[in-house]
């Protein structure tokens, strides 16, 4: 438990010293990576594979004309 608290404290101090400029630099780099065409293509493939395995996806909804998302009824529908 002491080790976790020490790690949090060290991370806080180092993060505070890095400041807003470093945070903005890291955020820009993450956005640039996420917008890269190769990453977008890989994300599309993963989405398609998950849709195939789970049955929740655009292709499954279009295939039979029904919405496959679960519908949770309201408790007090009026």
One pLDDT digit (tens) per residue for the chain, 78 residues = 778 888 888 888 777 777 878 878 888 998 999 999 999 999 999 999 998 888 775 544 455 555 555 666 666 655
pLDDT at 46: 92
pLDDT at 60: 47
Task: Check if the beta carbon of residue 58 is closer than 8 Å to that of residue 51.
Answer: yes
Q: Return the CA Rg of the chain.
A: 22
| Alpha-carbon separation of residue 44 from 17, 51, 57 (angstroms) | 38, 10, 12
- pTM here is 0.43
The answer for 56, left when phi > 0, alpha when psi is -120 to 50, beta otherwise, is beta
């Amino acid at each position: 438990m002491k080790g976790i608290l020490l790690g949090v404290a060290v991370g806080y101090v180092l993060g505070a010293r890095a400041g807003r400029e470093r945070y903005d630099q890291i955020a820009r780099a993450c956005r640039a990576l996420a917008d890269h065409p190769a990453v977008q293509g890989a994300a599309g493939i993963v989405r398609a594979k998950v849709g195939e395995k789970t049955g929740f996806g655009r292709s499954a909804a279009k295939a039979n004309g029904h919405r496959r998302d679960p519908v949770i009824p309201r408790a007090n529908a009026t």
